[in-house]
Structure 1
Amino acid sequence: MKLMKIQFRKKWLLYSIGLIGFFFLGVLIFIIMVYSGVWGKLPSTDDLKELKQAQATLVYDAEEKLIGKYFVFDRMPIAYEELPQHLIDALIATEDVRFYDHSGVDYFSLGRVLVKSILLQNESSGGGSTVSIQLAKNLFGRKNYGVLSMPVNKVKEAIIARRMERIYSKEEIITLYFNTVPFSDNTYGIESASRKFFNTTTKKLTLAQSATLIGSLKASHTFNPRLFPERSTIRRNVVLQQMVKYDLLSDSLAKLTSNEVLEIDYQRFDHDHGLSPYFREQVRTQALLLIEDLQKPNGDKYDLYMDGLRIHTTLDATMQEYAEIAMHKHMMSLQRVFEGSYGKYAPWIRNESLIRSKIKDLPLYKRLKKNGLHEKQILDSLEYKSDRKLFRWEGDTLLNASVIDSLKHYMKFLNTGFVALDPQSGAVKAYIGGIDYESFKYDHVVQSKRQVGSTFKPFVYTAAIESGMLPCTYFSPEQVTYSAYDGWTPTNSTVDSLDSIYDYSLKYALSRSLNTIAVKVLMETGIDTVITQARKMGIKSPLPQVPSLALGTAEMTLLELTTAYTSYVNRGIPATPYFIERITDKFGNELWSYPKPTNQSEAFSDETRQVMIEMLKATVNEGTASRLRSRYGIMNEIAGKTGTTQDNKDGWFVAITPKLVMASWTGNDDHRIGFRNTAIGQGANSALPMIGLFLQQLNKNVVYNSVTRARFILPSEDVALSLQCEDMQPKSFLEQLFGIDNPEKPKKKRKGFFSIFSSDD
């Protein structure tokens, strides 16, 4: 019996040894198979020496401040010297405490994983991943091989890790790891994570911030500091304790840091959010065209989203911030007044024909119609309610709403555009294309063309002065019916019947935006002459050859209009707006730079320029834009012009200072929805406040003293003398009695016309 037991034990021992031997032989064969490429070719040593990872293209403002990125993977590489020691220590203590002792693979841990994965088929076996192995995973990803996915991928990563350890130093491995490791919110690399979650660079990370980011590596969603701050704090403290455990941090400092409240300063660098999204979209569009013909040293084309380019723009991030604050404050208030003025009779509530036409314009409606659905079926589908995120000024909200509910919701919103240009260079310094890029992609600076109202009048007066008309020429404000143009009669809203006993100077007529006189000046100067003048000032949009042109019935973009106004402070030359200063590769080598315009022609004489500046200053000092002084306290040297179009559909304001030209527009995207009354919709109320609020902030910042305290050059003695006349003068007795022109005044050419009427502003 005893002999039988001994024999049984020997057999069992031999069987066990054979089984173990068979297992290790199987493992060896399995490793050889992976090594030989049965499950795909492994990267060679040469491949690993030439590691190339997709890098985000970085967008900077004029002061080298990062304002955005274009990327497939949000990654910003940095050097080893930029990694704080406490960040490295946190990684080692948490992820690979024997990092400096092994050659890329922790064999004991890897063996444990292989046993669990192959014998026990436990996909959650975990462990065994050194920093080098994790780097291999970050660089080459994982593929699906069915039930063998985990062991195949683990062995591949181990082989790659060993190869990398033979090529790169430990410091280089650490650097590669930090530049490729994925953090929360689809963020790749420590520099991108530092900027996104804490609005700082890696070099400036605090101990608490470093521990927070390292802690999130265990599960980037579970320990996302933005979504789960409490959970992230607990994980951060675990990292700190690991550092204490391995003598990489003192217990006292760990306790002190553990008591810190987790504070993130989240920065969105995705396309829809962050600073200046409309500007960044313009830059992206232009950059794609600029790099199209550029080639890398090897002849390949550059990829905007993967080659880590550096785009240096004209934007001033601080000005942009001020502009966005001003826009938000003004438009939220204006929206409230706008909706209140309509009350329960709002067109987005009561105007069924308007709502129905908007529904039929929906892409979804057209698609369902094309698929053969009947009208009732389509409407039933569009009435189906589900959770939708809707824009509100108080903050986006999630509501149970249908497509039609959403349509009505967005119909009511006023939109806006704002731009600030350096008039000497044309550099775009601040740019707002709309109230919210995520909800309203349409850019109201370069895409939207609207009637410009009275902001066109300065071009009429410029043409008149340039043609020889004296600033002290007087015109009657009386209405004239232009019979040749269907009996059209322009009117004024600011001059009553008693004023018919006076004639007004050009300066007064422009500053008060008198429609009747603007038309008379246009007719006397000549429509073609005015159009030619506008073209010289940079206006490229179609200009109707009718007298209504004087009242701004032409449609153009906000940027186009602003460009023309720059000529008043740029030696009579319209500046060419531009967005990008230069583009470099990731090493700093310049690939493209903005070619400064040369041989530009003056649009008008310097004498005309001086006269127009003085007349436009009067608009701000005493005319339609005077609330810039009275309500907003703007005492800067400034000239400008307000504008309002027919039925209060559009409000405009253009402001000119010696160093900055600004323009703003407000209105509803649907031309059928206007402001309820002129008091709300006039440019002085709907558009001017945005610039007033912007300048208030700019004036408080001493950094911009050179801009805000700049003064216009005094007009020459001859120009000053030409402007020395009364704003108004009484008509002669015959003129008052019979409406006969004073024979000493130049005869006015009068022609009637038919056109849409643009109210004076």
Structure 2
Amino acid sequence: MYSKLKKSRRLKWALYFLIGVAALALIFFGSIYFGMWGKIPSSEELARLEQSKATQVLASKGELIGKFYIFDRQPIKHEDLPEHLIEALVATEDVRFFEHDGIDNRSLLRVFFKSILLQDESSGGGSTITLQLAKNIYGRKDFGAFGIVINKVQEAIIAKRLEGIYNKEEIVTLYFNTVPFSDNTYGIESASMKFFNKHTRNLSLVEAAVLVGMLKASHSYNPRIFPERSRLRRDVVLMQMAKYGYLSREEALEAKKADLVLDYKNYSNNKGVAQYFREQVRKDVSKILDTLKNKNGQEYNIYRDGLIVHTTLDFKMQKLAEEALREHMEQLQEQHEISYGKNAPWISNGKLLEDAVKRTGAYKNLLKEGRTHKQILQELRKTRPTELFDYSGSITKNISVIDSVAHYLKFLNAGLLALQPETGAVNAWVGGVDFRYFKYDHVSMSKRQVGSTFKPIVYTAALESGMEPCTYFSAEEVTYDNGWTPSNSSAEDDSHMNYNLKHALSRSMNTIAVKVLMETGIGNVLSEARKMGITSKLPEVPSIALGTAALSIEELAGAYTSYVNNGRPSRPYYITRIEDGDGNLLAEFKPQVSPTPAFSENTREVMLDFMQATVNEGTATRLRSIYGLQNDIAGKTGTTQNNKDGWFVGITPNLLAVTWVGSDDHRIGFRNTRIGQGANSALPIFGKLMQKMQRDSYFRNITTASFDPVSPQVAEMLDCEAKKRDGFFKRLFSGSGKDEDKASEEKKENKGFFKRLFGKKDND
């Protein structure tokens, strides 16, 4: 009797214990369900799921050139998912996906008994696609020791609600749009574009298996980092598909023979095509979005709202432009360093280096901490492993901040802008040699003296003021009221010879350019510049004829478009429209072309003829002799005082390009004119670009286009000898001969201050 009573009490306490455990479990579940551990989204909230989506930047023909995102995500629709992709996912992650209601009880029981009780790690997991979707969308929080249980329960509740709102097709689509892949990539479309450079709908069976295989452990099975590991995981996916009847065994074995081939495209702002252009687009779009509101009255977010930005950029031309610039700059950099040797200013000029060090963020931060100059320099001399730019590839050296500054001081930089002159639509934009190391954009941010590329504006103003193309000017040097005496450096520039405007411009003769300016009037020249779209403040001094004005590449390019656009300058533009993720138009932009010509048609024809002569027989003949270009090209070279800047403007009927080369530190110029003149420093970038374009029939409308012949009236205006010699008496009384040559040399030596202030060293 006693034993029965004792047994009864045990059963009773056991029952109480079980009821207590069940009650605690129920209370614990209730606390999770009712949000005591964090709010669980309601069915209504789940019904209007919105995820952060990447904004896409597209080239003119729809090519993806970049994204702006917090998480790289590009949602797509169910019809864009290949059947074999869905089958690979189901076979690998959730074979009963189409049978359960979000929670697979059979899998959970298997996991409980085999994994927990029998310690069998081969049992797999009990997570379903819907449970993983819940985790993908809302993530997991750290709840300490109870974390895994709380997160699992929350996900189960969300999964049940998702299954009650969405059908299986919608759930698998949501899953593929939110699942994380390697390299900060979210969603199948972004992963497909990044790893295979193709849209999801075009994924092959093997490629789909690679991406699905990555889901088990995105880093461990990253095909970029661990190709062999990824391939083995891919094969597991293929065999799972065979195991569950989605493939025959023969099909799976055949697919396993395929090599792992990636076409990796990183859309980080620091990598990929058109980095400088994308950064400029980001700035512009951010400003535009500040003026727009969505349907809820909120501002759009460039990193979150999945917008689509359409641009004018020509994807093929952009790639060729980047190649051309880098190829030339690598060669020019070598010439630059060799020319200076051990006397390079970045080595021998301590003041220059010290000033550059003071401009660094490291120096400024230490200064804010109250360190003295001496203490800061001592700190900045400490060495550490540092990644450095080099044309042969990035290198890592154990150097100090000061060493790093010296390293970057030696580098030349460059900019290129190519656009359609009729509309101003930008086709190529290269802001520097490498965006990772040189963030400063030399297309839009930099203003440099433009040298002789300003001369066509002077000559245009002269023609508009009534000067005839066959007006002759002496090449003789003249000293102006301010003591400045511009000179020519070419041995062919005979001071006793008179040259017409065409010869003087095509040879870029400084003495004549200033005389043309003075006869035309500085005010008239500045007025013409404004008509041609120049908005920067221009100095009202004679030296402006030689390009002492500082302009951006964009501004100069816009002015030159007038020569091939009926005299009407077009402003460079590159964003055509912005859409939301559903293709609804948010903003649209049209070409900005001046409604009135900046000059007459006769002037336009004459100036274009002058600049064609520059290429055919003047300072830009390298395009013919070295680069073998035979198509119709007009152009103008430019070099600034002390060889600080090299310029070239290349003009074809359907494309205009401006290139600039120089050092970011204005105190460092080229060692000599042979290297630094625009014909050697900037022109080759255009020459190489045109060479590359000529090899591709895609660019035939540019490379085979011809300028219209000049009208009979203009042909008659141009019909005169290029030069004529001074008469006997003028030469006699001007003191020709050896004494004059000696006097001329003495005058040149005494130019001193004024030449340095206003002058130019060569005819470019």
Normalised by the length of structure 1, the TM-score is 0.94
Shift of 1:30: 2.2
Once residues 568 and 598 of structure 1 are traced to their aligned partners in structure 2, the CA distance between those partners, rounded to angstroms, is 13
SS in structure 2 at match of 1:642: strand
Pair 1:500 & 2:495 matched? yes
SS in structure 2 at match of 1:42: coil
With 226-235 and 596-605 compared, the bigger mean Cα shift is at: 596-605
Instruction: Give the alignment partner of residue 710 of structure 1, picking from 700, 705, 712.
Output: 705
Q: 1:641 to 1:147 in 2, by over 3 A?
A: same
SS in structure 2 at match of 1:304: coil
CA contact (8 A) 1:117 1:150 kept: no
Instruction: Give the alignment partner of residue 758 of structure 2, picking from 742, 756, 759.
Output: 756
Instruction: Give the alignment partner of residue 398 of structure 1, picking from 371, 396, 399.
Output: 396
Once residues 5 and 86 of structure 2 are traced to their aligned partners in structure 1, the CA distance between those partners, rounded to angstroms, is 57
With 107-116 and 92-101 compared, the bigger mean Cα shift is at: 107-116
CA contact (8 A) 1:492 1:516 kept: yes
Instruction: Give the alignment partner of residue 485 of structure 2, picking from 482, 489, 505.
Output: 489
Once residues 10 and 253 of structure 2 are traced to their aligned partners in structure 1, the CA distance between those partners, rounded to angstroms, is 55
SS in structure 2 at match of 1:249: coil
CA contact (8 A) 1:215 1:236 kept: yes
Aligned residues: 746
Match of 1:199 in 2: 197
Match of 1:172 in 2: 170
Match of 1:343 in 2: 341
Once residues 124 and 654 of structure 1 are traced to their aligned partners in structure 2, the CA distance between those partners, rounded to angstroms, is 68
CA contact (8 A) 2:88 2:237 kept: yes
SS in structure 1 at match of 2:56: strand
With 43-52 and 336-345 compared, the bigger mean Cα shift is at: 336-345
Once residues 355 and 332 of structure 2 are traced to their aligned partners in structure 1, the CA distance between those partners, rounded to angstroms, is 26
Match of 2:520 in 1: 525
Question: Deviations along 1:644-687, whole A, 9 cap, x unmatched?
Answer: 11111110000111111101000110011111111111111110
SS in structure 2 at match of 1:500: coil
Match of 2:734 in 1: 739
Once residues 65 and 454 of structure 2 are traced to their aligned partners in structure 1, the CA distance between those partners, rounded to angstroms, is 34
Task: Report the AA paired with residue 517 of structure 2.
Answer: L
Match of 1:608 in 2: 603
Once residues 224 and 17 of structure 1 are traced to their aligned partners in structure 2, the CA distance between those partners, rounded to angstroms, is 52
Pair 1:624 & 2:619 matched? yes
CA contact (8 A) 1:653 1:664 kept: yes
Pairing of 1:571-650 with structure 2 (within 5 A): 571-597=566-592, 600-650=595-645
CA contact (8 A) 1:451 1:556 kept: yes
With 92-101 and 595-604 compared, the bigger mean Cα shift is at: 595-604
Q: 1:591 to 1:292 in 2, by over 3 A?
A: same
Match of 1:445 in 2: 443
SS in structure 1 at match of 2:571: coil
Match of 1:366 in 2: 364
Pair 1:458 & 2:444 matched? no
Once residues 451 and 409 of structure 1 are traced to their aligned partners in structure 2, the CA distance between those partners, rounded to angstroms, is 25
Pairing of 1:93-242 with structure 2 (within 5 A): 93-110=91-108, 127-242=125-240
Once residues 635 and 63 of structure 1 are traced to their aligned partners in structure 2, the CA distance between those partners, rounded to angstroms, is 29
Once residues 165 and 395 of structure 2 are traced to their aligned partners in structure 1, the CA distance between those partners, rounded to angstroms, is 53
Task: Report the AA paired with residue 549 of structure 1.
Answer: I
CA contact (8 A) 2:570 2:591 kept: no
CA contact (8 A) 1:114 1:151 kept: no
Q: Percent identity?
A: 54
Pairing of 1:296-315 with structure 2 (within 5 A): 296-315=294-313
Once residues 660 and 469 of structure 1 are traced to their aligned partners in structure 2, the CA distance between those partners, rounded to angstroms, is 29
Match of 2:373 in 1: 375
Shift of 1:10: 8.4
Match of 1:564 in 2: 559
Match of 2:676 in 1: 681
Task: Report the AA paired with residue 290 of structure 2.
Answer: E
Task: Report the AA paired with residue 273 of structure 1.
Answer: K
Structure 1 residue ranges without an equivalent (≥5): 742-751
Question: Deviations along 1:456-506, whole A, 9 cap, x unmatched?
Answer: 110111111111111111111111122x21x22111111357x23321111
Once residues 297 and 370 of structure 2 are traced to their aligned partners in structure 1, the CA distance between those partners, rounded to angstroms, is 51
Once residues 4 and 339 of structure 1 are traced to their aligned partners in structure 2, the CA distance between those partners, rounded to angstroms, is 104
Once residues 116 and 370 of structure 2 are traced to their aligned partners in structure 1, the CA distance between those partners, rounded to angstroms, is 55
Q: 1:415 to 1:656 in 2, by over 3 A?
A: same
CA contact (8 A) 1:326 1:690 kept: yes
Once residues 360 and 413 of structure 2 are traced to their aligned partners in structure 1, the CA distance between those partners, rounded to angstroms, is 19
Shift of 1:402: 1.6
Once residues 275 and 164 of structure 1 are traced to their aligned partners in structure 2, the CA distance between those partners, rounded to angstroms, is 40
CA contact (8 A) 1:244 1:254 kept: yes
Shift of 1:256: 2.3
Q: 1:543 to 1:599 in 2, by over 3 A?
A: closer
Shift of 1:23: 4.2
Shift of 1:118: 11
Once residues 300 and 354 of structure 2 are traced to their aligned partners in structure 1, the CA distance between those partners, rounded to angstroms, is 47
Q: 1:367 to 1:689 in 2, by over 3 A?
A: same
Q: 1:696 to 1:195 in 2, by over 3 A?
A: same
CA contact (8 A) 2:648 2:678 kept: yes
Once residues 322 and 85 of structure 1 are traced to their aligned partners in structure 2, the CA distance between those partners, rounded to angstroms, is 38
CA contact (8 A) 2:477 2:495 kept: no
Instruction: Give the alignment partner of residue 35 of structure 2, picking from 34, 37, 46.
Output: 37
Shift of 1:174: 0.3
With 108-117 and 156-165 compared, the bigger mean Cα shift is at: 108-117
Match of 1:410 in 2: 408
Shift of 1:291: 2.0
Once residues 678 and 599 of structure 1 are traced to their aligned partners in structure 2, the CA distance between those partners, rounded to angstroms, is 37
CA contact (8 A) 2:307 2:578 kept: yes
Task: Report the AA paired with residue 49 of structure 2.
Answer: L
Shift of 1:154: 0.6
Shift of 1:525: 0.7
Match of 2:650 in 1: 655
Task: Report the AA paired with residue 249 of structure 2.
Answer: D
Shift of 1:223: 1.3
Shift of 1:577: 1.1
SS in structure 2 at match of 1:263: coil
Q: 1:5 to 1:403 in 2, by over 3 A?
A: farther
Shift of 1:375: 2.9
Pair 1:538 & 2:536 matched? no
Shift of 1:22: 4.8
Match of 2:689 in 1: 694
Q: 1:36 to 1:408 in 2, by over 3 A?
A: same
Once residues 115 and 437 of structure 1 are traced to their aligned partners in structure 2, the CA distance between those partners, rounded to angstroms, is 56
CA contact (8 A) 1:123 1:150 kept: no
With 201-210 and 343-352 compared, the bigger mean Cα shift is at: 343-352
Q: 1:108 to 1:8 in 2, by over 3 A?
A: farther
Match of 1:512 in 2: 507
CA contact (8 A) 1:389 1:399 kept: yes
Task: Report the AA paired with residue 760 of structure 1.
Answer: N
Task: Report the AA paired with residue 624 of structure 1.
Answer: T
Task: Report the AA paired with residue 261 of structure 1.
Answer: D
Shift of 1:612: 0.1
Shift of 1:567: 0.4
SS in structure 2 at match of 1:59: strand
Normalised by the length of structure 2, the TM-score is 0.93
Question: Deviations along 1:213-238, whole A, 9 cap, x unmatched?
Answer: 11111111111111111221121122
Aligned-residue CA RMSD in angstroms? 2.6
Shift of 1:735: 1.6
SS in structure 2 at match of 1:441: coil
Shift of 1:257: 2.2
Shift of 1:398: 2.1
With 672-681 and 241-250 compared, the bigger mean Cα shift is at: 241-250
CA contact (8 A) 1:223 1:231 kept: yes
Question: Deviations along 1:579-615, whole A, 9 cap, x unmatched?
Answer: 1101111111111111444762211111000000000
Shift of 1:695: 0.7
Question: Deviations along 1:343-379, whole A, 9 cap, x unmatched?
Answer: 2222222221211111122221122123122333212
SS in structure 1 at match of 2:758: coil
SS in structure 1 at match of 2:251: helix
